[in-house]
Amino acid sequence: MHSTEERRPRLLERTFDRLLLRNTRVAAVEQVSERFRLIALEGDALQGAAWAPGHKLQVKVAGPFTARTFTPIVFDAERGRTRILGYAHGAGPGSDWLRRVRAGDACQVFGPHRSLALGDLAGPVVLHGDETSFGLAAAVAVAMAGGAAPRCVFEVESEAEARLALKALGVEPALVVERRDELRRVQAIGELWSQCSGDGTLFVLTGRAQSIQQARQALKGHGVPSSRILAKAYWAPGKTGMD
């Protein structure tokens, strides 16, 4: 027999799932590189959901209460469909789920919810981030279709693999530099900041917390006001629960 102490967490989890999670189905999984997966989700529960570029979707990858956050690339609220890009960068519940997920699997999600307030994206945009920012870059590019494409700057583990994923998303980056090449990364990004700092560009900084801090400092050094900088840390080494 199960004790009251054992039953209580399970009951709480079932109640949370029933009240807050949306039931979806994995419609398709495309492996675009060794570590990147492009995943399509669909379900009646997604119909009518409010979404804008920059919003987040949390996917239950294990239990209890184990979810990982993704930025939808597109979201069709009328048909109840969305697409996310996942990066299986190491060991852990999120990466394990990305490696094993298959078309036809049931999938529970929480959201979408506001994460980054991008506004109307009317003017020039520079997006700085990493592998976790690719989905956002694709969503921003779609939102700005017909106008000037966002200039995307990414620091990554593998330039070759990153370019495969970006090609699959239709994102043309201004710069992709491997994170371990610190000197080239700092010099190249500094040049971009100096080129764009005086033209009213909106700078969107996402991804690794430390890189965001460095980029923010560089922008302020070029005289960019805080009102033209949006930042959202998606992760930091040794920390969980960020989005």
Q: What is the dihedral of CA 71, 74, 77, 79, to 10 degrees?
A: -130
Which one, of 41, 121, 47, 142, lies nearest residue 85 by Cα? 41
CATH number at residue 51: 2.40.30.10
Note the pLDDT of residue 13: 53
Q: Determine the Cα angle at 87 with ends 86 and 88, to 5°.
A: 115
Reported as a single tens digit per residue, the pLDDT across 135-159 is 999 999 998 887 788 899 999 999 9
- Are residues 46 and 83 located together in one domain of the fold? yes
Please indicate, yes or no, whether residues 39 and 12 belong to a single structural domain of this protein.
Answer: yes
Q: What is the pLDDT of residue 36?
A: 97
Residues 163 and 203 in one domain: yes
Per-residue pLDDT at 218: 86
**Would you call 167 helix, strand, or coil by DSSP?**
helix
One domain for residues 69 and 142: no
For 92-111, how does the pLDDT look when each residue is reduced to its tens digit (9 = 90+)? Answer: 899 999 999 999 999 999 99
The CA-based diameter of the chain, rounded to the nearest angstrom, is 69
- 213 within a domain of the structure (yes/no): yes
pLDDT tens, residue by residue, 170-227? 999 888 999 888 787 777 777 777 777 677 889 999 999 999 998 898 888 888 899 9
Q: Per-residue pLDDT averaged across 72-81, rounded? A: 97
- The whole-number pLDDT of residue 185 equals 76
What predicted TM-score, i.e. pTM, was given to this entire model? Answer: 0.88
Three-state SS across 57-114? EEEEEECCCEEEEECCCEEECCCCEEEEEEECCCCCHHHHHHHHCCCCCEEEEEEEEC
Residue 133 sits in the same domain as residue 226: yes
pLDDT in tens, 55-73: 999 999 987 779 999 999 9
The CATH number assigned to the domain holding 145 equals 3.40.50.2000
Residues 129 and 221 in one domain: yes
CA distance 140 to 53: 6
Do the beta carbons of residue 53 and residue 127 sit within 8 Å? Answer: no
Residue 129 has pLDDT above 90, yes or no: yes
User: In this predicted structure, which of 79-93, 130-144, 227-241 has the lowest mean pLDDT?
Assistant: 227-241
Q: Is the pLDDT at 18 greater than 90, yes or no?
A: no
Does one domain contain both 73 and 145?
A: no
Q: Which alpha helices (H) appear in the chain, and where do they start and end?
A: 4-20, 93-100, 134-143, 159-169, 182-196, 209-221
Cβ proximity of 142 and 74 under 8 Å: yes
Q: Is 138 contained in some domain? A: yes
Residue 138 shares a structural domain with residue 220:
yes
Range of the domain at 230: 125-235
Is residue 1 very low, low, confident or very high in pLDDT (cuts 50, 70, 90)? very low
